[in-house]
């Protein structure tokens, strides 16, 4: 199955990162975002990322130029033509994703694939919004995409073997290592990661230690490169809360209940690094 032309919907950090690694793999990429400023920033982020690789000697100038020539930007996915694969990488909102998949169903050529970068929403529910549920798959990249090696592949109830094999091959072409998760809330990474971050929030709320002490303890005590509260800030506390809610609702177990302090910070607009304040100030 051909995967030479992909559409990436969402030009934020995740979408731009996905587009960059696809371009580095020699794919033709149409980057789509309804926000013109966000689209321009995404394209600039991609070009800056490619330039940095050239400066580090990890990419030659000819491949940089070829990659940039293979990038097109649009404010509507309908402007892209002859699309083999669409990868949706918008904010973690199920209603929004389902609306986008309805549109992508009309954009991607017959026989093409619809992938979502969702970090927690069931693939089966997203696929149900399309006319081709067998061609829908989860393709969860880790952030920052150009650096992190993992891609979680999640098969919905109807995902075909051909869809899975094609997307796994494409991910490997992008230089990624893949793992396969069943279609349960949070998949593998966030099923384990989000409860840890949430528990760190409870530890802070209960006065077990300061944010700095909690993070230092986990970094030095468990050999993690970043403490859980700082990591939550980098992910975005609103995103952490949303995934925690998906886990709590989807699995029905009180152990996944979001920490009240996490919810309070989100209510205050303290989303972490992207807003300038979370558990730390930036």
| Residues carrying an active site annotation | 119, 140, 152, 190
29 has which bridge partners? 6, 71
The reply, when asked if residue 84 is annotated as ligand binding, is no
The reply, when asked if residue 276 is annotated as ligand binding, is no
83 has which bridge partners? 108
The reply, when asked if residue 11 is annotated as ligand binding, is yes
Residue 252 burial by CB count (10 A; 0-12/13-18/19+): exposed, middle or buried?
exposed
The reply, when asked if residue 111 is annotated as ligand binding, is no
46 neighbors 29 (Cβ within 8 angstroms): no
The reply, when asked if residue 55 is annotated as ligand binding, is no
Q: In what order do the strands lie in the sheet with 136-141?
A: 71-74, 28-32, 5-9, 83-88, 108-116, 136-141, 150-155, 177-181
The reply, when asked if residue 273 is annotated as ligand binding, is no
226 neighbors 219 (Cβ within 8 angstroms): yes
Helices (H) and strands (E) in the chain, counts: 11, 8
The reply, when asked if residue 205 is annotated as ligand binding, is no
Backbone torsions φ then ψ of 215, nearest 5 degrees:
-70, -40
The reply, when asked if residue 89 is annotated as ligand binding, is no
The reply, when asked if residue 92 is annotated as ligand binding, is yes
Sign of the Cα torsion 172, 109, 41, 12 reads negative
Greatest distance between any 2 Cα atoms in the chain:
56
The reply, when asked if residue 274 is annotated as ligand binding, is yes
Annotated binding site for NAD(+): 10-15, 33, 92, 97, 119, 143, 274
Annotated binding site: 10-15, 33, 92, 97, 119, 143, 274
């Amino acid at each position: 199955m051909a995967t030479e032309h992909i559409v990436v919907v969402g030009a934020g950090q995740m979408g731009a990162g996905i587009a960059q690694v696809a371009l580095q793999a020699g794919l033709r990429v149409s980057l789509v975002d309804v926000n013109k400023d966000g689209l321009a920033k995404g394209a600039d982020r991609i070009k800056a990322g490619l330039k940095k690789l050239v400066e580090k000697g990890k990419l030659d100038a000819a491949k940089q130029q070829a990659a940039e020539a293979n990038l097109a930007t649009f404010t509507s996915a309908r402007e892209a033509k002859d699309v083999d694969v669409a990868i949706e990488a918008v904010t973690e909102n199920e209603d929004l994703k389902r609306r986008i998949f309805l549109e992508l169903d009309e954009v991607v050529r017959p026989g093409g694939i619809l992938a979502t970068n969702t970090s927690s929403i069931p693939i089966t529910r997203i696929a149900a919004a399309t006319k081709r549920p067998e061609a829908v798959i989860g393709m969860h990249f880790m952030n920052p995409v150009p650096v992190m090696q993992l891609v979680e592949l999640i098969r919905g109830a109807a995902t075909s073997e051909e869809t899975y094999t094609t997307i796994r091959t494409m991910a490997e072409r992008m230089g990624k290592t893949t793992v396969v998760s069943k279609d349960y809330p949070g998949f593998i990474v966030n099923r384990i990661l989000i409860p840890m971050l949430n528990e760190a929030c409870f530890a802070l709320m209960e006065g077990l230690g300061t944010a700095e002490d909690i993070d230092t303890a986990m970094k030095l005590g468990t050999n993690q490169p970043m403490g859980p509260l700082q990591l939550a800030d980098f992910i975005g506390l609103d995103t952490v809360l949303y995934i925690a809610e998906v886990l709590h609702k989807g699995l029905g177990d009180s152990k996944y209940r979001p920490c009240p302090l996490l919810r309070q910070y989100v209510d205050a607009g303290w989303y972490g690094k992207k807003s300038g304040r979370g558990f730390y100030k930036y």
